[in-house]
Amino acid sequence: MKSTYGQYCPVSLASEVLGERWTILIIFALSEGSSRFNRLQRALPRISASTLAQRLRSLEESRVISKQKSVDGGAIEYQLTDAGEDLVPIVKQMGQWGQRWARDLEVEDLDPRHLIWSVHLRLDLDEMPSGRTTIQFEFTDLRKVDRFYWIVVNKRKVDVCLKHPGHEPDVCVASEILRFIEAWRGFRSLENEVKSGRIKVTGAPEMRHAFTSWLLLSAVAHVGRQRQGRERTLQRRNKKSY
């Protein structure tokens, strides 16, 4: 598949850059500050290393990103160029469109690693205790391997752990993953879910009660959904739709 369209048209020239699988998501992740190879992989857990490497090369060739050794370590960092920064508003608008109009989620869309990565980027550190704070997430409908995640906040640094961090969590959150995602997306009230215990929060009372104020929710949680939910949609056969 050639990537060109045979047209002088500026929309098609832009499509060559944005139209490849994963590219838009990489730009979005870069705009959120994930500038290293490894962090990009964690933001996009389903991308393979080779695909990510290929996309980064091709974005560099299009001069949408640039590559540098970071000043502190010798680690390599990717940055949006001016041209890349100009794509960010477009990508954000696509996110708004997705919130308004995209299809309902299905089981395969619920990768918990991606979810936790998103959550750890949107914690309100000013609302959180000043000492080290650890939140455990448990997705009760997933099997052991996928079930537990920890976010450790310390001195305004936020880390994701896929293994138990070795000390006791301050707050434990337990929920079905879809339910948590729907609250995160703004489709359900987080407060209601917590009050009713459908999202169960445990830990010391002052921590437990503060918890909902720590989550900033998805960046488009406030954007109103326009698409009719599954109960009113066309029948879609052979698809479990959530």
Partner DNA sequence: CAGTATCCATTTCGATACTG
Partner DNA sequence: CAGTATCGAAATGGATACTG
What are the residues binding DNA (CB under 7 A)?
Answer: 1-3, 20-22, 36-39, 46-51, 53-54, 56-57, 67, 75-78
Report the alpha-carbon distance of residue 93 to residue 159 in Å, rounded.
28
Which of 133, 134, 136, 218: binder of a copy of itself (CB under 8 A)? 218
* 143 contacts a copy of itself (rule: CB under 8 A): no
Report the alpha-carbon distance of residue 76 to residue 91 in Å, rounded.
24
DSSP-derived letter for residue 105 is: P
Give the E-state strand segments of 55-164 in sequence order: 65-69, 76-80, 133-139, 148-154, 157-161
Of 150 and 211, nearer to DNA (C-beta) is 150
Of 40 and 91, nearer to a copy of itself (C-beta) is 91
Q: How far is CA 10 from CA 13, 23, 100, in A?
A: 5, 18, 27
Of 48 and 93, nearer to DNA (C-beta) is 48
- Residue 107: CB minimum distance to a copy of itself, A: 10
Per-residue HEC secondary structure of 147-177 comes to HEEEEEEECCEEEEECCCCCCCCCEEEEECH
* 193, interface contact from DNA, a copy of itself, none, CB < 5-8 Å by kind: none
Residues that bind a copy of itself (CB under 8 A): 1, 3-25, 28, 44-46, 62-64, 82-83, 86-87, 89-91, 93-103, 105, 108-111, 114-115, 118, 181, 184-185, 218, 220, 226-227
